[in-house]
Structure 1
Amino acid sequence: MRKLVVLFLLAITVSTTVNAQNKKKYAVDKTNNEWKKLLTPKQYFVLREAGTERPNSSPLNFNKKEGTYVCAACKTPLYKSENKYDSGSGWPSFDRAIKGNVELDTDYKLGYARTELKCNTCGGHLGHSFNDGPKKTTGKRHCINGVALEFIPNK
């Protein structure tokens, strides 16, 4: 029994060490306190704690202007207005991101695998990707929390 306990503790230690070593380093890396000073409480909840804003709560849902949507935390350009569409989901939706600026990750927070979308510069949680988007384009729906974005209109 003692050997079993030792093996179990060893397995947990190795697993924790491997997970800590695999954590990605982002170009913009701040402490939680630094993020809290920079972001509003809602932005912090979504971007740093992988929260979700209430559906239909973002004014960006109804934005039809031409421009670029950037990360609210680090200002990295993430989505172009030409790729935004009304999915009826209650969140701003895009059929594709600006290449290289959005990271795809997997989360199991609901007990099953989902494709999580993160800013590739700061690691901020943006939302999730689904395969029910416009069939005429990519077939993807990037369902994004509006509070994770800022809109920069074209000049």
Structure 2
Amino acid sequence: MSSATPKIYTLKTLLESPLPVWTRLARDPLKRELKNQLKLINLKPTKRVHLKFDPFHPHVSSIREFLVAVSSPNIIKTNPKCIIKTEIVCQRQEPTITVSLENGKTIIFKTDLLSTLEITKNYNQLVNKLTATPTAATV
């Protein structure tokens, strides 16, 4: 049996050679999924989004990333009348998102252990389910 010698790459050859296509497509599937979910966010049925968090809480990054995403111009264009309010508290409270819908219903997300992807997926599922217009029965 002959042992194959490992191929050694220098930094110069790695920087000069282009990346193969499969590495560019499969870089981070979670980021790709998050990007797709953020494209689906629709504020049209939403009257108000209230984000309350303590900046010193250990699990605050997901709500802050969601705040940045929701306040982007593309998402605000879906409903310019929607109020996005941020409340910063210093009481070590759990970060929460309260979504008030046009039909009077309220959704509360406790985002302590949720990732940004989970928050956006749950938002899209719940808002689409609650605001879905009942289809007329065909005769």
TM-score (norm 2): 0.24
Q: Which has the larger radius of gyration?
A: 2
Higher helix share: 2
Q: Which has the higher contact order (CA 8 A, sep 6+)?
A: 2
Higher strand share: 1
TM-score (norm 1): 0.23
